[in-house]
Structure 1
Amino acid sequence: MKAIVCTSYGLPDVLQLAEVSKPSPKNNEVLIKIHATTVSAGDIRVRTFNSPLLFWLPMKIVLGFRKPRQPILGVELCGVIEEIGKDVKRFKKGDQVFALTGMKFGGYAEYTCLSENSVLVLKPKNMTYEEAVAIPFGGTSALYFLRKGSIQQGQKVLIYGASGSVGSSAVQLAKHFGAAVTGVCSTQNMELVNSLGADRLIDYTKDDFADGSEQYDIIFDAVGKISKAKCKGALTPNGKFVTVDGQGIAKVRSEDLLFLRELVEMGAIKSVIDRHYPLEQVPEAHRYVEKGRKKGNVVINITN
């Protein structure tokens, strides 16, 4: 089968198209024919080995010293189950599914095997494979951090980086939870964030959300570019600051993906896709994502 293999840590050119062996499912696994995956922040961090010095050695032990131990990156995927192991009970051949693979990776390939007990559920019925694959990473990350901030109905919530993968999901989820949402983004992304349901918009190129003129119950930095100290004057006395940078990796369960699927099928959230690339252009997709200007998600089409 075809796959994109990360041959070492470094620039996007380390990602190479290769022929690799098609996997076979173990007794508790399903074989998935992948239709679509994405280029996520997690894929970029692994390929570049972007790790703080304090965690350099532990991360090398986990990921691999000279190159990723799991060379086929891609942390989210959507496809159809082609084969099941003899002990599998939750799924059957032909099921259309979407998943988060976590540290197993494997999305940049035509096929992968996942345990039936992994973060794997049936995809939303009202979405294509490409639309559905843009939900898991950003959606579960946003859900985790909003819950970490103890989001409640009626609160004022500010999302910094509201047009990215995590931020665009956070705007929609915060609205679903009944919050008054302020989205912070650049001028060119204000129309998008407004369409996602934000009640108020702040253009960070022109205005400073932390000038003290407004206070929020939750400030969520969805891109990891601001500090708690900067936000101090913009938080209510019991306000909480949460960020994707330095507050741990989102802990994700199948229940979270099921919850997101329900919201999609009831029309409460939608996916945001910036660009599509074919599998062989994954290096180009990485270069684009690294610019830090994408809107929502960059999708990789595996199957035409």
Structure 2
Amino acid sequence: MKVIAYDHYGPPNVLRLKEVPKPSPKIGELLLRVRAVEVTKADCELRSFRFPVHWFWLPLRLTMGITKPRRQVLGSYFAAEIEALGEGASKFEVGDRIFGTAHLRLGAYGEYLCLPETYPLVTMPSNLSFEEAAAVPLGGLNALHFMRLAEIEQGESVLINGAGGSIGIFALQIAKDLGGHVTAVDRSIKEGMLRQIGADHFIDYSKSDFTKSDQKYDVIFNMVARVNYSAAIKCLKPGGRWLSGNPQFFHLIKPFLTNLFSDKRAITKFAGEKEEELIALKDMIEAKRIKPVVDNVYPMEEAVLAHQRVENEDRLGAVVLTMGRAK
């Protein structure tokens, strides 16, 4: 089978097609025929081993490989068909179309992948293609996790900093579905797309700093690593909630003081990416309450271009690779 592999850290052109043996499912595993996979910022960061947040660099390097990657095939969020069942696997049937995550096991940048059936894997929404379904798990699972923690009530004001990313796009839609009045912060190139999926207001961060405005919000969801935490907290109304999906190390410490000495809440609980959440997303998508936004679809032979597209920050939605279709 073909995979997109890399054997050393570096720029997008370290990615290459490679032939490897087709895997066989072990006890309790599923053999998946991967059809589409989202190319994420995390994929690009693991490939280059350059991260905007530095505090987890050492433990991650020890886990993923000190001098070269231990797992040479990236890809965590995908859509696939079940080709075979390992002994004891009974959750799905051969031929089922599913979507979900491989977590840090990775491997979805290949035509086939074996995963335990206990992983967050759910049959795909009936109204999505493989490419659209692959664009859901990363953004959807993380956004749903944080929007539930935010406890948004009807009519509350919500600011999403980094609204044009994979997670921000779903957070915006879920916040709107919960009754929030949403301000999206991102680059000007993304304004049209963000308004189309429900943004009530838009701030171009290159022209205006929301932390220097007099506007106050009930909820701020931050997906930008380098943000002035103290200034942002001042933008919350009394009783307001701050949530960070991409925290710097001090963003893990300062919330304790915020919660202890103010009437505001700062929440930094990491997403667990649970099956129940994936089912909830599927239901919301089939009810047409939220939807994935796909920027571009590339064949696996163009993985380098896909990584470049993600890194240049001009994408309007998810970038997706199809596995094994191009000749």
Q: What TM-score range do you get, normalising by the shorter chain?
A: over 0.9
- Which range is displaced more, 22-31 or 137-146? 137-146
Query: Amino acid of the residue matched to residue 119 of structure 2?
Result: S
Q: Distance in 2 between matches of 1:205 and 1:61?
A: 36
1:62-77 mapped onto 2 (5 Å cutoff) = 62-77=63-78
Q: Distance in 2 between matches of 1:164 and 1:57?
A: 26
The residue number in structure 2 matching 1:138 is: 139
Cα RMSD for the two superposed structures: 1.7
- The 8 Å contact of residues 6 and 67 in structure 1, kept in 2 or not, is answered as no
Query: Amino acid of the residue matched to residue 250 of structure 1?
Result: A
The residue number in structure 1 matching 2:38 is: 38
- The 8 Å contact of residues 101 and 137 in structure 2, kept in 1 or not, is answered as yes
> Cα distance 1:186–1:57, how it changes in 2: closer, same or farther (>3 A)?
closer
> Cα distance 1:115–1:239, how it changes in 2: closer, same or farther (>3 A)?
same
Report the secondary structure of 1:276's partner residue: strand
- The 8 Å contact of residues 4 and 72 in structure 1, kept in 2 or not, is answered as yes
Deviations 1:153-180 (A, max 9, x none): 3321111121221111111011111211
Query: Amino acid of the residue matched to residue 19 of structure 1?
Result: E
- The 8 Å contact of residues 189 and 314 in structure 2, kept in 1 or not, is answered as no
Q: Distance in 2 between matches of 1:225 and 1:131?
A: 30
Report the secondary structure of 1:268's partner residue: coil
Q: Distance in 2 between matches of 1:297 and 1:255?
A: 23
* Offset at residue 232 of structure 1 (A): 2.8
Report the secondary structure of 2:56's partner residue: helix
Query: Amino acid of the residue matched to residue 44 of structure 1?
Result: C
Query: Amino acid of the residue matched to residue 254 of structure 1?
Result: E
> Cα distance 1:164–1:55, how it changes in 2: closer, same or farther (>3 A)?
closer
Q: Distance in 2 between matches of 1:61 and 1:211?
A: 40
1:97 aligns with 2:98: yes
* Offset at residue 293 of structure 1 (A): 2.4
- The 8 Å contact of residues 37 and 78 in structure 1, kept in 2 or not, is answered as yes
Report the secondary structure of 2:94's partner residue: coil
- The 8 Å contact of residues 211 and 233 in structure 1, kept in 2 or not, is answered as no
TM-score of the aligned structures, taking structure 2 as reference length? 0.88
Report the secondary structure of 1:158's partner residue: strand
Once the two structures are aligned, what percentage of the paired residues are identical? 38
Q: Distance in 2 between matches of 1:146 and 1:222?
A: 13
The residue number in structure 2 matching 1:224 is: 225
The residue number in structure 2 matching 1:277 is: 298
TM-score of the aligned structures, taking structure 1 as reference length? 0.94
Query: Structure 1: where are the runs of 5+ without partners?
Result: none
> Cα distance 1:55–1:207, how it changes in 2: closer, same or farther (>3 A)?
closer
* Offset at residue 148 of structure 1 (A): 3.5
Q: Distance in 2 between matches of 1:53 and 1:175?
A: 32
Q: Distance in 2 between matches of 1:59 and 1:279?
A: 26
1:253 aligns with 2:274: yes
Q: Distance in 1 between matches of 2:50 and 2:97?
A: 34
Aligned length: 304
Q: Distance in 1 between matches of 2:207 and 2:308?
A: 27
Query: Amino acid of the residue matched to residue 167 of structure 1?
Result: G
Query: Structure 2: where are the runs of 5+ without partners?
Result: 248-267
Report the secondary structure of 1:113's partner residue: strand
Q: Distance in 2 between matches of 1:213 and 1:54?
A: 32
* Offset at residue 296 of structure 1 (A): 1.6
The residue number in structure 2 matching 1:12 is: 12
* Offset at residue 112 of structure 1 (A): 0.2
Q: Distance in 2 between matches of 1:146 and 1:169?
A: 10
